[in-house]
Amino acid sequence: MKLGVIDSGVGGLSVLPHLTASMLPLTELVYVADTAWMPYGCRTPDELRPRVGQLIDWLVTHHGVQAIALACNTATTIALKPENVGNATPFNAFDAMQWLRTAFAVPVVSPVFPTVEWMAYQLAHGHIPNHVVLWATETTVNSTLYQRALADFAQHTMTVTSVSGGPLAARVETHDLSESDELIQSLAHTINAAGSPVSLIMGCTHYPHAWHWLAPHIITAVTLVNPAEHLSAKLQAILGVQEAMDGQAGNLVPPLGYRFFATGDVHAFATTARVLLPHLPWPHITVEPMVLTP
């Protein structure tokens, strides 16, 4: 099975360990880093919606992927709009989730809805704190997609506090951070100010790469929610059913290959990627340039 992964840059790399550790019968992972357009939060919806559609079509047409992990939360929040999901008023997260999975030639799964589904169950059974802190890009926070999805799925009393990561994603992209960085200190202060205990959603796939710098400064009791884990689990659930229908269930093989593409500076992407995921067989991997035609 070939699986595509789309992100604005290195953020989606935080999803890869969960995908390769899953029971998915993967033979190849094809990763597209749209670094030429990074950060997505600076793009308008009218720019980004067709761009994401092009990336999806390219993965299906040129690489024959059978499913796609849309790893970027910001891309999800911009790609989804009420007219896409039947002009639902108010916006309905159930319809949005279904639209995302069926609107393209192959299933497309984002981190948002699998995470919220998991949280709804945990909240209902008192397994995680009902004070939720959404730590995400400003675009994702302002879209209110996580907030609305939590309200639709959870059906449970909770408090949601939003914390913008500011330029954190761009700083992760260049691996330009340290534990003493002013940005890290400021984010820690804001998260600590939310109180204790909290369920902290890392609402950008870049953020797990920065957690080891931030964690020493967090004094509040935190239950960490990493959407990458739940995206992987949802893909396994969806594709497991598909494999069973094809009579191939249980025919599991390890990933045989990685293909990486970048729309911007391939050297810059490869340099950061090797630092963030040093266990990959980089001597046998070439990051290839990718050009999307209008």
Q: What is the pLDDT of residues 248-275, one digit of tens each?
A: 444 444 556 899 999 999 999 999 999 9
Model confidence at 93, pLDDT cuts 50, 70, 90, reads low
Q: What is the overall mean pLDDT for the chain? A: 85
Residue showing tokens 């340039």 = 289
The pLDDT score that the predictor gives to residue 135 is: 96
Reported as a single tens digit per residue, the pLDDT across 134-151 is 999 998 998 888 988 888
Q: What is the DSSP string of 237-278?
A: HHHHHHHHHTT-TT------EEEEEESS-HHHHHHHHHHH-T
CATH of 2-110+228-289, one of 3.40.50.1860, 2.40.50.140, 3.40.50.720, 3.20.20.70: 3.40.50.1860
Q: What is the mean pLDDT of residues 107-131?
A: 92
pLDDT in tens, 64-86: 999 999 999 988 887 665 444 44
Give me the architecture of the 113-226 domain, per CATH.
3-Layer(aba) Sandwich (3.40)
* Listed residue (18, 14, 68, 23) closest to 250, CA to CA: 23
Judge if pTM exceeds 0.85: yes
Residue 91: pLDDT band (50, 70, 90) is low
Per-domain boundaries in the chain: 2-110+228-289, 113-226
**Is the fold of 2-110+228-289 the same as that of 113-226?**
yes
According to DSSP, the β-strands at 198-202 and 257-262 are: unpaired
pLDDT score at 294: 62
